[in-house]
Structure 1
Amino acid sequence: MLINSYNCDCDYECNAKRFKRNFKNWTSGNNNIDKFIQDTQLLEHNYYEVHNALEWIPYDKLYDIKYITEDNKFGKVYRANWIDGCIDIWDHENKNWGREDQNMFVILKILNNPSSITLEFINKIAVPHEIAVPHKVFGITQDPETKNYMMVSNINKCGICYATCNSMCFQRNFENWTSGNNDIDKFIQDIQLLDHDNANEALEWISYDRLYNVKYIAEDNKFGKVYRANWIDGYIY
């Protein structure tokens, strides 16, 4: 375990001092990661609020971990729920960190090369791209089975909208349906991920049992037989 020798010059009890006192109580098992997390914590000189500090997040504090997509930079990307939620302020009454958003949704991205972790690296990964991704990185965890270190990031706000938009809501529901065909699944998902405000423009997978009174009506040159039906649920709007 690495203990940072930095000494704070604040003439009051700041968050950096509180974080430093706790260094002895956790380790990632990797000195580079320990130092990186500690360095972000030692920049927190506010009295109450915590803004940009990362933390070591034990893997057993995450649950319902599920694969959601493939990322060009990191490979497989997972989503999970974080039991504790993120650090918000110092709780003077309980002498501990006050937290918010318990059981929040988070994104997990694998770090293939822990020695390359820098603030510049964090800034590069916390930008929006083809999936709705976060801007806020909370910390780092490690899968005890694969030994992979993983970045834990915010999934509550879209990297494009900076809000919980339709794209985010659609993404959270990906695990609950499938067409049985990967190409069709991806096509529907890609359209849903482009929908940040007008849900009626997104496609969805419609279970056949949600249709009734299905009847043949005509022959089409492109598709062959064409049917009409009633749709129980109606479209999303």
Structure 2
Amino acid sequence: MSPPATPTAHSAAARQREGTPANGALHLIPVGLGDAPPERWLPAEVRALAGRLDTYIAENAKTARAFLKLIGTARPLQEITIHTLNDRVDAAQIKAWLAPIKHGAEIGLVSEAGCPAVADPGAKVVDTAHKLGMPVKPWVGPSSILLALMASGLDGQRFAFHGYAPVDPAERAKQLRAWEQHSAKHNQTQLLIETPYRNAAMFATLLASLKGDTRLCVARSVTTADEWIATRSVAEWKQQPAPQLDKLPTLFLYLAR
């Protein structure tokens, strides 16, 4: 793949040689939500920026390399440094990774999918950058949470993203009903996700636990060829075959009356 065309140099040192200021920053770069051309979900300017950076912080180095290979890079992938943000990384390590920004370096932060630092461990990297007084630059790209909310037709002014519901069936049903009560009281859309292979079980639990007039949206594989989004009342969902959700990334959203 040809590298993205950009007049901007790939390092702070190069910019200084050209007589331009070395303005370091932590760049928050969204990645794709699934198998789809990058032109569909990432602006050209962001692709060019991502392609010229030579240092990244990523939740998963393998998926970060796949992203960089997809968009094209100004230098070989093996020359790009990718720091892996796993559970063993502490604050001191993050500070060490970010230290070059003080001297004009630019570092990218990516998630496994979607926007970094939104329902994502990258938030602690951003927090550290702020505490160190470093510039943080968010860039436009896909967020499955916001895209699903946009397409749901549910309340987009008051909403809460809960991540995962409890795995235990009884606890899960109890939690879903508690969120439904909160939704009715505050007119607040509730959003959650599930491990893809448990999507069918989650959908069945939602139908069994929620009230018939609660509006439920299912947003599957947003931005990909398998994208499918529909909003119906729980009672209406019960009257038709369940959607195909197995092993496909899906968000569930609901709003109680």
Task: Please say whether Structure 1 and Structure 2 have the same fold, judged by a TM-score greater than 0.5.
Answer: no
More helix by share: 2
More strand by share: 1
- TM-score, normalisation: structure 1: 0.25
* Bigger CA radius of gyration: 1
Q: Tell which has more relative contact order, 1 or 2 (C-alpha 8 A, sep 6+).
A: 2
- TM-score, normalisation: structure 2: 0.24
